[in-house]
Chain A
């Protein structure tokens, strides 16, 4: 049972690209296309077409990232709001809900970032309340307790590797700890919004 899949998607892409080449020539097309793409958040084709038509930054750090921003923010331009990785690894379970509330508050007050949460326990229900993407890593206890899941480099190296991957995968603008004390993280997040009195 060896073989390969078909290349059916190529013709669709060619059509989309032809369409967007034409769209580029239309005045105010970008704003209109962005509205369409925002309205069609579920449509890969629409979003791909818009991003390609208008040379959005889809490769570097920051820029346009098609990623869910959660339930709190709304409006055009969401795909350009910076993605920030916030790690709650090591946070006691009972403190996670209030950490999430704090993150949500800062997100709403600043409209300056889209968080991706990194957790090491079952906090999916609590995160789902806000609708943010969440990444799960093995906790130190899981690592220590299950030999077959480990590699030789150790848990710290595993965590660092995973966090690097997460940062790269989401092209996040920052990777920050949201631990028991996090004044610099808050300073950074608040810097993404307007100055407040």
Chain B
């Protein structure tokens, strides 16, 4: 199997789980289009009308497996010449699940009216239309499935976009037709029947109408496929004279080919938007007798009568075989003309022309999300180059071993701090990273071995269920690596750690615990200090504003820890080249959190507008573990690099959250910075950190960013930001990472 092409002629979008007519109609269109040579794609949306976990409709699944249609998964872009949304309610509710789609033509197929039989709103034309426009960037045509739906939507579809022809359902006429037209009647009395779901709306609601159209006296042979439960109440049971067959006991084709007449009447309050089973009956060679409202849809293909007139119509045709045969043959000709696969192919060809004989359908595409996140024109994908400076030159087996474990967290803070320690260990000291963050492979880029352990959150698993997994996995790593020191970096030691520690008493356990907790928060966690032999606290330049629980707690304290030293800062030209950024002109970096705690889209937008207004080019970080979408689609320079701080000289000003790492890296590197503290963190007091920096005159800060508030501060930073940042550098006691590494090595030496 090779990756599925995402370049198709016709893209059909719907909730592909629908059990009935909607999915079968999609399947018919797939068969028709595929047979005509069109490349067909399917995009599934989990819509609001299917409540339980449900597979794709088997008819569609079979077409996907046979290669008639490509099922397009994920968020990779799709190109289509025509997009057809079937069911506006699904589009309206689930458009956010769509991948980016490039197309010139789109049709919203209204396969039902905006309200159901009880008057409840199923969709709103305006909202569904807006969803289509916003998703595709084109104004869609609206196509009703039949005249009744047309009546309901024609007054609300935006002007000029209602298609002139209904987008009627189609059928494989030849597949439904009997091998030979039947010469005689199906029985010694009229054989009539109907085929539908056994839902009340599909049946007349009163006994009088029921007995008029489906006699109970045995004068006609009445056959029902699909169950007749709804008649039990009005008729006080299912009439003995009827033959009722449940779904699955007989194929619809065989059933319909055995009828003389297909008589279909339903609840008068029900708007039958199309009536696919009628089409099947006509193709199968039955004469259809229907309520008059179907005339606009099926025209001369059927015979129409009010319920009271059904007996007369049926018995009249039964008495005139020639008239019956003429009606039957007329119906099949009309079905072929209007409702056949060929008719659908012609309908699509009118919109987009004939199938492309070539055009990249075999072009392989990667489905990797990381490949797609950054546009080709402006990516600083320089991260592959390992930062080897701190990697111990020789890692001998037999020396001290330090296992460094990080919690998952929302950003990179915990993991980066552990990297800071690990890359400064003396030669001969072995480090191994076990992380609950999917950013763990960054350790490999730094020359460190690593393992990944999925967190309870990543698994959507209750912590109590996750704990044994945590214990098994960490225990296995401890057994193999046999560390002298286990370092846990996180603010919330996991339940189960004490048991693991009890099982590995030979190791020294250290809690690497950043300070600046929010005042009054998490103090109960300090009791977990008892699980550890020592506490290592990386310092904070804003410690004077720390009001959290750790301030008075016992710890071995070192200076502020960063992965990169100030001396490692690359020259501006080199940094810009490495990031594929323009060599000249002012550039700003916008880095507002890792993207997993807050949706920072609006703040990013405000930052971009403020900077653009000042004539400054904008770069936005794309963190490896962030969810996509923070800045996608904007004309920005997207920067993905790790560690990015070594290239901070590329930027004239930075707008950043005030997490531990960003805060210290920016100030240590002397970068003019506007801090926008993330106020949604559970524990990290970013506001205090940002406020301290501003009070010291090292940087500016804004609790909430807007164009109006940011612009003057950014102007000031562009003017004198370097001078401000220089003050921070003067106050910096130096990187505490080396002292931390030495402390850990000393603990390793204590193992007897």
Chain A residues engaging chain B, CB cutoff 8 angstroms: 1-6, 8, 41-42, 44, 47-48, 66-68, 72-78, 81, 97-98, 100-102, 104-105, 108-112, 122, 124-126, 128-130, 133-136, 138, 142, 146-151, 158, 161-162, 165, 169-170, 193-197
The docked-state distance in angstroms from the alpha carbon of A42 to that of B460 is 7
Scan B55-76; emit 1 where CB is below 8 A from any A CB, else 0: 1101101101100000101110
A161, B476: Cβ atoms closer than 8 Å:
yes
- From A41, A112, A151, name the one whose CB has the most chain B CB atoms within 10 angstroms: A151
Question: Known contacts being A109-B65, A169-B468, is A68 close to B56, with CB within 8 Å?
Answer: no
A51 nearest in chain B by CB position: B462
User: Which residue in chain A gives the minimum CB-CB distance to B480?
Assistant: A151
Q: Are A134 and B532 in contact (CB under 8 A)?
A: no
Q: Mark B536-558, 1 if CB is under 8 A from A, else 0.
A: 00000000000000000000000
B58 to chain A, nearest CB (A): 4
Q: Which chain B residues in 422-457 approach chain A with CB under 8 Å?
A: 430, 432, 438-441, 444, 449, 451-452, 454
- Chain B residues engaging chain A, CB cutoff 8 angstroms: 1-4, 17, 44, 46, 50-56, 58-59, 61-62, 64-65, 71, 73-75, 366-370, 395, 397, 401, 430, 432, 438-441, 444, 449, 451-452, 454, 458-465, 468-469, 472-473, 476, 479-481, 495, 498, 524, 527-534, 624
Taking CB atoms, residues of chain B closer than 8 Å to A158 are: 480
Contact present for A148 and B368 (CB under 8 Å): no
Q: Which of A68, A109, A169 contacts B64 (CB 8 A)?
A: A109
Q: Assuming the A-B contacts A5-B527, A48-B464, A75-B46, are A147 and B397 also in contact, with contact meaning beta carbons closer than 8 angstroms in the complex? A: yes
Closest residue on chain B to residue A101 by CB atoms: B367
Given A48-B462, A66-B461, do A72 and B444 touch, yes or no (CB 8 Å)? no
Given contacts A44-B462, A125-B369, A149-B432, contact A138 B451 (CB under 8 A): yes
Complex contact A109–B55 (CB within 8 A): yes
Residue numbers in A under 8 Å from B17 (CB-CB)? 111
Known: A129-B75, A197-B58. 13 other contacts (CB 8 A): A1-B531, A5-B527, A68-B461, A72-B73, A76-B52, A97-B366, A101-B367, A109-B56, A129-B74, A158-B480, A169-B469, A170-B469, A193-B61
Contact between chains at B53 and A74 (CB < 8 Å): yes
Roughly how many angstroms separate A134 CA and B438 CA in the complex, as a whole number? 9
State whether B472 touches A165 (Cβ < 8 A).
yes
| A74 near B432: Cβ-Cβ < 8 Å | no
Q: In the assembly, what is the distance between CA of A74 and CA of B440, in Å?
A: 29
- When C-beta atoms are compared, the residue in chain A nearest to B439 turns out to be A124
Q: Which of B55, B465, B473, B481 contacts A193 (CB 8 A)?
A: B55
B454 touches A105 (CB 8 A): no
Q: How far is the CB of B443 from chain A (nearest CB, A)?
A: 10
Flag if B476 contacts A66 (CB, 8 Å).
no
* Residues of chain A within 8 A of B52, CB atoms compared: 75-77
Residue among B4, B432, B454 with the highest chain A CB neighbour number at 10 A: B454
19 contacts between A and B (CB under 8 A): A8-B524, A42-B460, A47-B462, A68-B459, A77-B52, A78-B53, A101-B3, A108-B44, A124-B440, A124-B441, A128-B369, A129-B367, A130-B73, A138-B451, A150-B480, A165-B472, A165-B473, A194-B58, A196-B65
Q: CB-CB < 8 A to B2: which residues of A?
A: 98
Contact A5 B462 (CB under 8 A): no
**C-alpha spacing A120/B717, complex, angstroms:** 46
B367 x A100 contact (CB < 8 A)? yes
B690 vs chain A, min Cβ distance (A)? 29
For the complex of A and B, the 3 pairs showing the least CB-CB separation, nearest first, are: A3-B530, A122-B441, A68-B460
Smallest CB–CB gap between B251 and chain A, Å? 12
Contact pick for A105, options B71, B369, B465, CB 8 Å: B71
Minimum CB–CB distance for B663 against chain A, Å: 27
A136-B440, A148-B397, A196-B58 are contacts. A105–B476 as well, Cβ < 8 Å?
Answer: no
Chain A residue numbers with a CB within 8 Å of B432 are 148-149
- The answer to whether A111 and B452 touch across the interface, beta carbons within 8 angstroms, is no
Smallest Cβ distance from B261 to chain A, in angstroms? Answer: 29
Q: Could you tell me the distance between the alpha carbons of A44 and B533 in the complex, rounded to whole angstroms?
A: 31
Determine the chain B residues whose CB is within 8 A of the CB of A76 once the complex forms. 51-53
- Within 8 Å CB of A6, what residues of B? 524, 527
CA distance A97 to B76 in the complex (A): 12
Residues from chain A with Cβ under 8 Å of B454 in the complex? 133-135
A169 and B470 CA atoms in complex are apart in Å by: 10
Residues of A within 8 Å of B1, CB to CB, are 98, 102
Give the residues in chain B near A101, CB-CB below 8 Å: 3-4, 73-74, 367
Q: Which chain A residues lie closer than 8 Å to B74 at the CB level?
A: 101, 104, 129-130
Judging by beta carbons under 8 Å apart, are A105 and B367 in contact?
Answer: no
Which one of A8, A81, A136 has the highest number of Cβ atoms from chain B below 10 Å of its Cβ? A136
> Closest Cβ of chain B: how far from A170's Cβ, in Å?
8
Among B367, B449, B468, B530: residue with most chain A CB under 10 A: B367
B530 interface neighbour in A1, A81, A129, A196, Cβ under 8 Å? A1
B471's closest neighbor in chain A, by CB?
A169
A8 to B525, CA, bound (A): 12
**Least Cβ–Cβ distance between A110 and chain B, in angstroms:** 5
**Known contacts A74-B46, A104-B74, A109-B64: A194-B481 contact under CB 8 Å:** no
Counting chain B CB atoms within 10 Å of each CB, the highest count among A67, A130, A197 belongs to A197
Do B624 and A125 touch across chains, with their CB atoms under 8 A apart? yes
Residues of chain A contacted by B438 (CB below 8 angstroms)? 124, 128, 134
**Complex Cα distance A136/B452, Å?**
6
Please indicate the chain B residues that have their CB under 8 angstroms from the CB of A170 in the complex: 469
In the bound complex, how far is the Cα of B478 from the Cα of A151, in angstroms?
11
CB distance from A75 to the nearest CB of B (A): 4
The smallest beta-carbon distance between B178 and chain A, in angstroms, is: 21
A67-B459 in contact (CB<8A): yes
- Distance in angstroms from B514 CB to nearest chain A CB is 19
Best-buried of B44, B53, B56 by chain A (most CB within 10 Å):
B53
Q: How far is the CB of B399 from chain A (nearest CB, A)?
A: 9
Identity of the chain B residue whose Cβ is nearest the Cβ of A122 in the assembled complex: B441
- A169 with B472: CB separation less than 8 A: yes
A72 to B99, CA, bound (A): 13
B750: min CB distance to chain A, Å: 14
Instruction: Find chain B residues with CB under 8 A from A196 CB.
Output: 58-59, 61-62, 65
In the complex, chain A residues whose CB is within 8 Å of the CB of B71: 105, 108-109
Q: Are A122 and B367 in contact, with the CB atoms below 8 A?
A: no
CA distance A112 to B59 in the complex (A): 16
Instruction: State in angstroms the CA–CA spacing of A130 and B439 once bound together.
Output: 17
CB of B397 within 8 A of CB of A44, answer no
Check A133–B449 contact: CB distance below 8 A. Answer: no
Q: Report the separation of the CA atoms of residues A182 and B618 in the bound assembly, to the nearest whole angstrom.
A: 48
- Using CB atoms, name the residue of chain B closest to A99: B1
Neighbour of B73 across the interface among A48, A108, A124, A169, CB < 8 A: A108
Q: A151 to chain B: which residues have CB within 8 Å?
A: 479-480
- Cβ of A159 to closest chain B Cβ, rounded Å: 12
With A66-B465, A104-B73, A162-B476 already in contact, the answer to whether A4 and B64 are too (CB < 8 A) is: no
* Distance of A29 from chain B, by nearest CB (Å): 17
In the assembly, what is the distance between CA of A165 and CA of B474, in Å? 12
